[in-house]
Amino acid sequence: MLELIVGAMEAGKTWLIYKKISDAKLMGRKVQVFAYPVHEGQVVSRIGFKSEAITVNTVAEIESSLDPEVELISIDDAQLFDKVDMLNFCSRWRNKTHIIVAGLQLNSFGEKFGAIVELMGVAEYVTVLLGVCEKCKQQTAIISQRYRDVAHTIPITKDDPRIELRKEFYAPVCWKCYVPPR
């Protein structure tokens, strides 16, 4: 089974993963948690929940680390992994185990981010979490706006999506408040 948890930064994706991981462990399930190396061995939500995670740079590393008995695989910030590799991985494993994929569906250019949108289209379950828009303060934030202290941001290219994780330069905003980058 494939389950997607998507939404803007600070929308609660990692919090929801934490709940699902915790519940699965209470039910005695064999769980494996993966994250991109920005997390340094943990999945950490903004409200303080932490879970141990195997940090990996590639989908191949996820696959080579899999326990044959695994019953729940969780992958956080899945938008950062290679799109084709992630799609192929989910196709191969979704009928053998339960996969929870979490990530941002949109980058700050308003484009599809990694494999997330494609995976939403084929998942059994999709949860879209909305954050609080930093501009209008409504619970409608769905995209990241690069605008904090713009004069001091490091150069951005569309080829390096990892910069999206630098929360000091980005904020969650709604479509009404979002201004596309020039």
Q: Which parts of this chain interact with Zn ion (CB under 5 A)?
A: 133, 135-136, 174, 177
Cα 101 to Cα 4: distance, rounded to the nearest angstrom: 5
Q: 45 with 15: CB under 8 angstroms?
A: yes
CB of 25 to Zn ion, least distance (A): 37
Q: Which is nearer to Zn ion, 78 or 177 (CB)?
A: 177
Q: How far is the CB of 104 from Zn ion (least distance, A)?
A: 17
Closer residue to Zn ion (CB): 66 or 132: 132
Encode the chain in three state secondary structure: CEEEEEECCCCCHHHHHHHHHHHHHHCCCCEEEEECHHHCCEEECCCCCEEECEECCCHHHHHHHCCCCCCEEEEECHHHCCHHHHHHHHHHHCCCCEEEEEECCECCCCCECCCHHHHHHHCCEEEEECECCCCCCCCCECEEEECCCHHHCCCCCCCCHHHHHCCCCEEEECCCCCCCCC
The residue among 11 and 56 lying less far from Zn ion, judged by its C-beta, is 11
Cβ at position 150, least distance to Zn ion in Å: 18
Q: Say how far apart CA 97 and CA 72 lie, in whole Å.
A: 6
Considering the complex, state which of residue 167 and residue 176 has its C-beta at the smaller distance from Zn ion.
176
Shortest distance (Å) from residue 141 CB to Zn ion:
7
Nearer to Zn ion, 120 or 142 (CB): 142
Q: How far is the CB of 156 from Zn ion (least distance, A)?
A: 22
